[in-house]
Amino acid sequence: MQNRRGSIMRSSLGAFLACLALVSGAPVQKKAPSLIDKALAAAFPGAKIERVTCKLNPKELKRVGELAGQKAPKKSTTFAYVARRKGKVVGTAFFDAHKVRTKNETLMVAVSPEGAVMAVDTVVFREPPEYLAQDRFYASLKGRRQGRGLRLGRGLDGTTGATLTCRAVADASRRILALHEVLGEKVGRAKKEPTQKETPQKETPQKKTPQKKTQPKTQPKTQPKTQPKTNKATGAPTGKCPAGS
C-alpha cells in the first residue's frame, strides 16, 4: 500500500510541477529517449514502431528451441517491435537479455520480413569492455539466416579474446530468428506463398505402327548363254548332223 501511495504522490507532484511550468512560461523538458528507443531509431530510421505482445504456448516454445538448436525458452511472453514505413512492414526487432560470462548483456536483433538478420546492436553490456566483440563481427551477421551460418566455428568467425561474447550473440540471433518464424505474420513476417509441387506429366506412349519388312527385290539370276561348240574343220556346231549328210 505504501508503494502504491508513494507512486500516486510522485505522479501528482509531477503533474503539479508541469502545470507550474506552463503557468510560469518555463519550457517543459521532454522525456529522454530510452536505450530501446535509440536502438529502434538507429535500426529503422523514420519508421513507425508498433510494440506487439506475444504469448507462446508450450508447443510453440518447443518449436523455437528446435529451430534454434537450443533448449526451449522458459518465458512464454515476448515483445516484438514491428517497424513500418508507409504502412509496409520493413522489419521487426526483438530484445534478448542473457548471460555472457558471469554478467548479462542485452541485444537488439532486427529481422527482415523474409527472416534474415538486418542488424545486431548491443544495448546493455555488463561485462568488462574488453570482452566486447569487434564491429566487423556484428557486421558479418547481416543477411544471415537460420542454420549453420549462425553457429560460431561453423561458418561464423568470432573475435579473438571475445569468444564467449560472440557465441552468446550467435545463440541469441538464432533464438530471435526462431521466434520470428514461429510467430509469423503477427510480428510482420512475410507470408509464405504455397509452393505448388510440380507433378511430372506422364508421357503417353505412342503406339508404334508395325512397319512391314520389305523384302529386297531379287532379280532373277540370268543364266549365261552358252555358245554351241563348233567343229573347227567344218564350222558346223557339234552334236548336230550337218544338213544333207
The pLDDT score that the predictor gives to residue 155 is 77
The mean pLDDT value for 161-166 works out to: 91
pLDDT at 245 over 50: no
**Section 122-135 average pLDDT:** 93
The string of pLDDT tens digits covering residues 39-69 is: 999 999 999 999 999 999 999 999 999 999 9
Summary count for the chain: helices (H), strands (E) = 5, 5
Residue with the bigger pLDDT between 215 and 13: it is 215
Model pLDDT, residue 244: 47
Note whether 187 and 111 are within 8 A (CB).
Answer: no
Give the residue-averaged pLDDT of 170-198: 85
Q: Which strands make up the sheet holding 77-85, listed edge to edge? A: 48-55, 77-85, 88-99, 104-111, 117-125
Kindly tell me if the per-residue pLDDT of 182 is higher than 60.
Answer: yes
User: Does the structure show a pLDDT above 70 at 24?
Assistant: no
DSSP SS3 for 50? strand
Domain assignment of residue 121, given as a range: 28-187
Decide: helix, strand or coil at residue 3: helix
Provide the pLDDT for residue 213: 60
Percentage above 70 pLDDT, the chain: 66
pLDDT of 200 over the 60 cut:
no
| pLDDT at 6 (0 to 100) | 42
Residue showing cell 535500426: 43
In a domain, 46, yes or no: yes
Q: How many separate domains does the chain show?
A: 1
State the pLDDT at residue 13: 44
Q: Considering the domain boundaries, does residue 212 fall inside one?
A: no
In a domain, 133, yes or no: yes
CB-CB contact of 105 with 75 (8 Å): no
Q: Is residue 201 in some structural domain?
A: no
Mean pLDDT (whole number) for 210-217 = 60
Q: Is the pLDDT of residue 38 over 80?
A: yes
In a domain, 177, yes or no: yes
149 within some domain: yes
What is the distance between the terminal CA atoms of the chain, rounded to a whole angstrom? 170
pLDDT for 2 equals: 42
Evaluate whether residue 63 is within a structural domain: yes
Bridge partner list, 180: none
* SS3 of residue 54 by DSSP: strand
The whole-number pLDDT of residue 148 equals 76
